[in-house]
Structures are given as C-alpha cells and as structure tokens.
Amino acid sequence: MRSERTALSWLDDRERERREAGLRREVRLRTPGSALIDLASNDYLGLVRHPEVIDGAVAALRRWGAGSTGSRLVTGSTTEHALLERELAEFVGTRAGLVFATGYAANLGAVTALAGAGTLVVSDAGSHASLVDACRLSRARVVVTPHCDVEAVAHALQTRTEERALVLTDSVFSADGDLAPLPELHRICRESGAVLLVDEAHGLGVRGAGGRGLVAEVGLAGEYDVVVTATLSKSLAAQGGVVLASDKVCAHLIDSARTFIFDTGLAPAAVGAARAALAVLRREPQRAQAVLDRAADIARIAGVAAPVSAVVSVILGDPQRAFEAATMCRDAGVSVGCFRPPSVPVGTSRLRLTARATLTQDELARVEAVLADVLAIAP
C-alpha cells in the first residue's frame, strides 16, 4: 500500500522543526509612509527617499526604460552603467569597476572567476552568505578560518600546494559590525602571492574619509592584489553590486564571471539612483561620520560597547527571545532587525540595530524609551 506521504512531505517536517526551534521566518510587508522608527534597514546614509536620488532614478527610467532588456554583453549596458563604474572606481581609489545586478551576484562572479580548480580559497568564518556560496561554487579547495584569525590565514597560505590563492573577508561584518584586520591580511597575502578580496557592503559610505570604505581608510585602495566588492543597496540607497579592481581584473570578469555574462543587466532606474546617491555623498561627506555618531548613540542607549560601524548588536541568546523582543519593539513603534541562526552562530540570536545618518534626537529619545522597556523584560 502506497504511503500517504508525498515527495514533498519532508517540507512539513522541516517547517515544524523550525517552528519548535524559534527559527521560522515570514515575509513582512512594508507600508509607504510608515511611522515606525527604522533601525532595521541598511539605509545608512538616509538617502532612500532623498529627492535627488529619486530624481536620478526617474530620469534614468525615462531615458532608458524600465528594464535593461538583456545581459550586459548583449543589450543590457548603457552609458549610465559606464558612468557609474567610472565614478565608483574614482571614489574608492581603484582603476576600474564592473556593475552587476546584485551585490550577491558580484561576489559570486568575482570569486568563481578568480578561483577555480588549482586554487586555494581562504574565507573568514564570518564572511557573508554570498561569499560562502561563492566558495561552494568556486571548484577550488576551500579553507574556512576562525573569525579574524590572521595566523590561521597565514598558515593556510604557507602550507598550500596550489599555485594560486584567494583570501576572502568582509570589511565590516554584517552581524557584529566589527572590522576585518585588513592591513595584516594584505601583508600575508602579499608575502604569499595571494589575492585579497574584500566585501565592502557595510563599509562603503560609513568607513574611510567621506565614506570611501575601510580598504581606502587603511591605505589599500588601488593595490594590484586587492579586489573590492560592494553593494549599491545599502549606503547608496539603490540596488545592484560592483567589483572595483584593476583594469586587468575587470576585463577578466567580463570574459569569465557567469553572473555578469548570463544575468540581465542592472535596471537603469537603480543605476541612476546609485549615481545620484554617490553624488550626494561626495557633496556631503559628513554623512559618513554622522552614521558612526548615531551608532554610538544607539549603543549607549542599548547598553552595549561603542561600535566601529553602523551595526549595533544586542545579543539575547535564545532565538525565540530575540524574536519576541523584536516584535515588542515593532509594536512600540521601532523596527529592529532580528538575527537568528543560520545568520549568526547558535546561542547568539540578537537584535541588530542599524544607525542612519538622519536619525533625529526625538527619534533617539523614543528608541531609548522603547529599548528600556523591552530589554528590561528580555535581558
């Protein structure tokens, strides 16, 4: 007699397991003009609704249309894309740039094109999921080193049998908001003939002079053996990703990065918005410091250590406790992030609070009142 279980019955088991562990996720719809104080998004510079950014998107939309119409090697590139690449490269201090449809695609494309069989890839344990997936697709031997452990990276490079090596790290880690030891990592990469790839998703617009990123801040911008990736969806308030590197690296990616070759180009409106956001940042570089100042305010309110980025983590441990605390914050008018496994290690579920340059003192006062109530109940 045939079992009543179907080919997809296992999904019911997984859903039940996630609910019991407090790890069930749901898509929550936003409403325009919400009165919630936003400490959950990555709109670090407060540019998502900036009139110039919206105008930039609309102008590109009217000129080029709603979509890119194809991959960038067929019909999907416009002069707007080329200008954005040039402007981003100049801003962060590299020779060239290549825009992808998403930051995720930029990391997948860069790592898989620069690695491959006969390569060692060394990745920090805290690297973003896009870098983790890039490692899995790279066809290279992968070594995952403990978080920010420079000696472990050095050992992996020094004992390798492969001719080529690629070291991967975030500049600012998205969950804890801490900084990678980039000077030390670059030194051992240079000594070992390895390439250092740094994901500046959470560094661009926040760290470095005028928001040029941590790579520029530590003096590594433009080095031949450093490749920078970034997203346009955080500080630059749009969508998309970019690889910033030498002309040689970008030319190789055009020929080899599958997420560039086979993906539809970034929509013109997103390109126009990102260009406009970059122009605002260049004109108002103080926004980068304002993000860090507001993050320090949030950390003081939450009773945690002063941050070095826009990210403030309040670790609660249990995933259900973190979820309930986030729900309480939202019900009281403050939207916060709730990070649970697998986004963070087991036992470190947390509220993730992100700063925005445009947070007002009135908003901070409200945040202080809400967090005081919530954390008193869910310490």
pLDDT in tens, 143-159: 999 999 999 999 999 99
Looking at residue 3, what is its pLDDT?
59
* Domain residue ranges in the chain: 51-283, 285-377
User: Looking at domain 285-377, does it have CATH number 2.60.40.10?
Assistant: no
Looking at residue 378, what is its pLDDT?
58
Residue type, 375: L
**Which tokens belong to 23?**
């790890």
Whether residue 307 has a cis bond before it, omega within 30° of 0 = no
Judge if 51-283 and 285-377 fold alike in CATH terms: no
Q: Measured between alpha carbons, how far is 375 from 360 in angstroms, rounded to an integer?
A: 22
Give pLDDT < 50 ranges for the chain: 1
How far the first Cα of the chain sits from its last, in Å, is 53
Q: Using H for helix, E for strand and C for coil, what is the string for the chain?
A: CCCCCCCCCHHHHHHHHHHHCCCCCCCCCCCCCCCCEEECCCCCCCCCCCHHHHHHHHHHHHHHCCCCCCECCCCCCCHHHHHHHHHHHHHHCCCEEEEECCHHHHHHHHHHHHCCCCEEEEEECCCCHHHHHHHHHCCCEEEEECCCCHHHHHHHHHCCCCCEEEEEEECECCCCCCECCHHHHHHHHHHHCCEEEEECCCCCCCCCHHHCCHHHHCCCCCCCCEEEEEECCCCCCCCCEEEEECHHHHHHHHHHCHHHHCCECCCHHHHHHHHHHHHHHHHCCHHHHHHHHHHHHHHHHHCCCCCCCCEEEEEEECHHHHHHHHHHHHHCCEEEEEECCCCCCCCCEEEEEECCCCCCHHHHHHHHHHHHHHHHHCC
Strand 37-39 and strand 334-339: the pairing is parallel
Looking at residue 32, what is its pLDDT?
86
Q: Measured between alpha carbons, how far is 265 from 102 in angstroms, rounded to an integer?
A: 10
**pTM of the entire predicted model:** 0.94
Which CATH code is given to the segment(s) 51-283?
3.40.640.10
Looking at residue 33, what is its pLDDT?
79
Q: Measured between alpha carbons, how far is 311 from 322 in angstroms, rounded to an integer?
A: 16
